[in-house]
Structure 1
Amino acid sequence: MNVTKQMIVVMTVIGVLSSVVLAASDMVTKGMIAKNQQKALEAAVFKVLPGAKTYEAIGTETFSAYKGMNEQRQLVGYAFIAEGPGFQGTIRMMVGIDPEFKSLFGMDILEQVETPGLGGNISTEKFKRQFSGLTLAVDGVTSASGYGDVSYISYVKNIAPQKPGEIQAITGATISSKAVVKTLNSSLTQLAKLLAQ
């Protein structure tokens, strides 16, 4: 057998073995990844829905939402994933809201790739704390019966929030702050429409 044929045989064997190893590792890790993703989802839901002990999915294929219940199976609120474009990439949040759709329980950033030290500060506790107990500017359940997004939340720059539904934008990162607000408003509208059905 000449050198060229030997190289072809060796490379073919290496390629086949590599494919088998990759396929086997994918099969082994797929289950673990799914379990870890489920644990992370549960932790995020319970973090933004204080008092919830169980939850059930109520969302659609394109919008993930959950109904949280206490030990007596009474509704304590709703959690939902808000996802939208930021300055650098996708911002993904888990948000909790009370059953009357009047105020947020909290917001947690699940994923973001904003500029470190600027837009990346949307992940800081100082920024996220603004959403705990934040009263919405309008009653979404009745307002969302029309068309278009409703402005539940707005932001102000360089001053303290004065009105219901206002948060303070991060200095030097208005685009990321605006992206969070826009994504939340759009997702709250989707949730309101879902609950009105």
Structure 2
Amino acid sequence: MEKESIGRLVLTLTIIGIISALTLAFVYQWTTPYIKEHQAVAQEKAVFNVLPGAEKFEEVTKNGHTFYEGYNNAGSRVGVAYIATGGGFQGQIELMIGVNLNEEKIYGISILTHSETPGLGARITEDAYKSNFVNKPFGDYTVVKREAAEQTEVEAISGATISSEKVTTIIENAVSTIQSAYGGGM
């Protein structure tokens, strides 16, 4: 009798496991197009957010990287956006950076995804932190734990210096990648 009840238990759990797996697979297949559509909309919004004056953009590939060239209504290129990824304090940080290569400055950044600590490192998404990079000239940046006094200084988030440093490194690497692909100018 005990072998019979163990057999039923194993069979029941197996059936429940199979039904759960099939349900999960179905839900994944059903939601994937919606998730991708949402990501595409968020990405498009980020391009326009980091390229002021852009009315449209084109996706181009150079040196194996995908860039988004923003154009105004007259058809002139106003800047280049790029999705950069790097390690943060808790996990990967993915951001969009927009630059003006003629003036060698950063228009701005938009954090696309991150897994930083809520209330600390997650503050990288706040406008107060992102404003550190608005119209910032290209260069090597120093993260400081006080108000930034120099153009090459970036004010750290209190309690999240590592996240601040990681975002700064991602931005420096992104600028280097963009300059390499575009030959240092537009």
TM-score, length basis structure 1: 0.77
Preserved CA contact (<8 Å) 1:59 1:194: no
> Does 1:161 find its partner at 2:149?
yes
1:53 aligns with 2:40: no
Letter in 2 for 1:72: A
Q: Report percent identity of matched pairs.
A: 34
Structure 1 unaligned residues grouped into runs of 5+: 138-150
Cα deviation code 1:45-91 (max 9, x no counterpart): 11111121222222469744211112233211011112211222222
Tell me what 2:110 maps to. 108
Displaced runs of 4 or more, over 6 A: none
Q: How many residue pairs end up in the alignment?
A: 182
SS at match of 1:58: strand
Q: Which residue of 1 aligns with 2:33?
A: 31
Secondary structure of residue in 1 paired with 2:134 = coil
Name the aligned partner's letter for residue 55 of structure 2. K
Q: Could you tell me how far apart the structure 2 residues matched to 1:95 and 1:117 are?
A: 23
CA 61–30 in structure 1, closer or farther in 2 if over 3 Å, else same: farther
Higher percent of residues as strand: 2
Distance in 1, Cα, partners of 2:16 & 2:63: 41
Deviations 1:113-145 (A, max 9, x none): 3333433322221111121111223xxxxxxxx
Counterpart AA for 1:24: F
Q: Structure 1 residues 159 and 14, CA, compared in 2 at 3 Å: closer, same or farther?
A: closer
RMSD of aligned alpha carbons:
2.7
Whole-Å Cα distance in 1 between the matches of residues 118 and 6 of structure 2? Answer: 51
Pair 1:70–1:131, CA change in 2 (3 A): same
Within 5 Å, give how 1:86-101 maps onto structure 2.
86-100=88-102
